[in-house]
Amino acid sequence: MENVTRGKAFVVGDNVDTDQIIPAEFLSYNPADPEDRKFFGMYAMSGVPPAQSGLPGGGVRFVPEGEFAADWAVIIGGRNFGCGSSREHAPLAIAEAGCKIVIAESYARIFYRNSINGGYIAPMETSARLVEMIATGDEVEVNLADGTLKDLTNGAAAELKPLGDVAEIVAAGGIFEYARRRGMLK
C-alpha cells in the first residue's frame, strides 16, 4: 500500500453495516475467481441507503451502474463502520471497487481485522467528526506514514490514529504476504 493516497472522498454516516457494504444477494460470486471477483467491486456499498450516501440529499452511487470500479479513493465514515455480520467480503468489495482507505471514528472489530488480514484496505481511525467536515467529491490526501488527512477542496485537516503494529501487515498486502516476507510461511 502506498504511503500517500490522493483522490475523491465518498462520505457516509454512522453504523454502515456489512449488509450495506456488500448485500447478501451478491455473495454468490466466488472471490477466488478473477472473473467473479470483480463483481464484488460492482456492488460495493450498494446497500447504503440513498439518504446516507454522498451529497446532501443523498443518492450518490459508489460505483456507477454497469461499472466495476468507483471514482472514490477514500471512504469517510462515522462511528461503528462495518458493523453487522463478520462478512469477509465487505472490505474485499471496497478494495475491488478501487478504494484504498476507509477513515472512520470507530469500526466493528471484525471488519477492522478482515481489512488488515486480507490486505484489502487501510482502516484508519480518527477522533474528528469528519462526516461533518468533508463532503462527497472533495479531493483529499491521506498520508499513512504521518497519519494525516488533508481536504484539498476546503482546506480541512485531521490527524489519524496510527495503525501501530498492523502497519507492516497493511503495507505487505495482508497477513499471509506479511508472514511469507517474515519467513513464517513458504
Q: Are 39 and 26 in contact (CB under 8 A)?
A: yes
For residue 101, count CB atoms less than 10 angstroms from its CB and return exposed for 0-12, middle for 13-18, buried for 19 or more: buried
Domain that holds residue 98: 4-181
Q: Does any domain span residue 109?
A: yes
3-state secondary structure 43-105: CCCCCCCHHHCCCCCCCCCCCCCCCCCCCEEEEECCCCECECCCCCHHHHHHHHCCCCEEEEC
Q: Which pLDDT tens digit goes with each residue over 65-95?
A: 999 999 999 999 999 999 988 788 999 999 9
Burial classification of residue 8, based on how many CB atoms lie within 10 Å of its CB (0-12 exposed, 13-18 middle, 19 or more buried): middle
**DSSP letter assigned to residue 33:** S
**25 part of a folded domain:** yes
pLDDT of residue 128: 96
**CATH label of the domain that carries residue 49:** 3.20.19.10
> pLDDT tens track of the chain, all 186 residues?
788 999 999 999 999 999 999 999 999 999 999 999 999 999 999 998 876 766 555 667 899 999 999 999 999 999 999 998 878 899 999 999 999 999 999 999 999 999 999 999 999 999 999 999 999 999 999 999 899 999 999 999 999 999 999 999 998 999 999 999 999 987
Instruction: Give CA–CA dist 22/157, Å, rounded.
Output: 30
Name the domain count of the chain.
1
Report field, pTM of the whole predicted structure over 0.85: yes
Q: Is residue 92 part of a domain?
A: yes
Q: What share of the chain is helix, strand, coil (3-state, %, to 5)?
A: 30, 20, 50
- pLDDT in the model for residue 50: 73
Secondary structure letter of residue 161 according to DSSP:
B
Name the amino acid, one letter, at 106.
S
Within a domain: 39: yes
Stated as kind and residue range, the H or E segment containing 113 is helix 109-117
Q: Please report whether residue 37 resides in a domain.
A: yes
Q: Is 160 within a domain?
A: yes
In a domain, 186, yes or no: no
Rounded distance, CA 163 to CA 125, Å?
A: 8
- Flag whether 76 is in a domain: yes
Reported in sequence order, the residue ranges of 98-147 that DSSP labels E, i.e. its strands, are 101-104, 122-125, 139-143
